[in-house]
Amino acid sequence: MYPAESYVDDGPPHITTSVEHNDEDLAVPVSKPAEDDTPVPPTSPLPVPEPRNSQLSPEDEFEGDDLRSQLARALKVLNAKSEEIVNLDRLLVAEREKNELLQKQTAVQVPDEQPERDQATIRLLTVSLEDANKAKLAAEKDRDFVREQYMNASGYVTTVRNENTELEKRAQIAEKQATEGVALVRATFTERIRFLEEDVKSWRQMADFAVAKDSRMNDDIRRRAAEAPELQYRNEKLKEEIEELNTHIGELNSELAKKDEEIAELHTRLEMDIPELVYPCHWRPVGGEGPCDALLDSKEELEKHVLTAPGHL
């Protein structure tokens, strides 16, 4: 048995045939699928509706409605084929049961009781069973084809919907970037204008200061120009004083050189007059062999030698 995935109320019509049995007067119904004129939905790419928050043009709405109608027809055909397969399975089971029943009845009957009629009935039932199997296989193929087309169309719809969602996100991001970019540019130029205004103000202050300074310098130049003769006279006087002082310094240097020579002669004479004096140690160290024979120039050096030399104190 092949269970149907879904059902519809108005299933396809069936053609019923019967095979007459002479003894029992039995009618064996055989269900054959009627030709369905419902067109198979195409699988070519079709546009799908935009998201709810986007604006659709009339052409997009028409194409979206056409795609939905095609998907609905494909689903209807798929349900009809599934129901037809279920009916064929039921008829196949009934035919098999009847065939088994006839085979059992034929086995227990007397060989002389109408064997040809039974064989004809069996052949008819076999042909009916084969037809039912063929119809079932055809219906299964149709169902698989319709299901494949439906899945392709559904996959395309999902793909286009995802693309539309991605495009909408990108549009929102671009709009946000444009808004933030305009705000950033406005803030940048505002800051630039403020900086330039402050720079202009600073340069204006510097220009005012330069003008004031130039005015003061002009006054100072005029004052110095008025004082120039007096300053020049004082400069000449100072130069004369400097020359006089330099001459006096030269005389003092000559006199200083003479005094230095006299001092040097006095030192030489003094050194020649002073007798040469030395101070021997003669200290006998403890455990020593003899007295210390060190000679020192002064008493201070002698005392220091006694205090620091080894074996003295």
DSSP H helices in the chain:
58-108, 115-273, 299-308
- Predicted local distance difference test score (pLDDT) of residue 29: 39
How far is Cα 267 from Cα 245, in angstroms, rounded to an integer? 32
Can you give the pLDDT of all 313 residues of the chain as single tens digits? 333 333 333 443 333 333 333 333 333 333 343 344 443 333 333 333 343 444 444 444 455 566 677 777 777 877 787 788 888 888 888 877 887 887 777 665 545 555 677 777 888 888 888 888 888 888 888 888 888 888 888 888 888 888 888 999 999 998 888 888 888 888 889 998 999 999 999 899 998 888 888 877 777 788 878 888 888 888 889 999 999 999 999 888 888 888 888 888 877 766 665 555 677 887 777 666 677 878 787 788 888 888 888 777 6
End-to-end CA distance of the chain: 135
Residue 50's SS3 state is: coil
pLDDT at residue 242 in the model: 92
Which CA distances in Å does 188 have to 150, 180, 192, 242?
A: 56, 12, 6, 69
Give pTM, 2 decimals. 0.27
Write out the H or E segment, with its range, that includes residue 296.
strand 295-296
Query: What number of CA atoms fall less than 13 Å from residue 264's CA on the CB side?
Result: 6
Q: What are phi and psi of 204, to 5 degrees?
A: -65, -40
* Burial profile 78-112: b = 16 or more Cβ within 10 angstroms, e = fewer: bbbbbbbbbbbbebbeebeebbeebeeebeeeeee
Which residue type is seen at 107? A
State which amino acid sits at residue 203: W
Asked if residue 295 lies in contact with residue 279, where contact means CB atoms within 8 angstroms, the answer is: yes
| pLDDT, position 101 | 81
Tell me what pLDDT residue 287 has: 64
* Residue 310 zone, left/alpha/beta (φ > 0; ψ -120 to 50; rest): beta
Place of tokens 């803030």: 187
Residue 218 confidence (pLDDT): 77
CA distance 33 to 140: 12
Q: What are phi and psi of 111, to 5 degrees?
A: -60, -25
Asked if residues 129 and 88 have their Cβ atoms less than 8 Å apart, the reply is: no
CB-CB contact of 1 with 89 (8 Å): yes
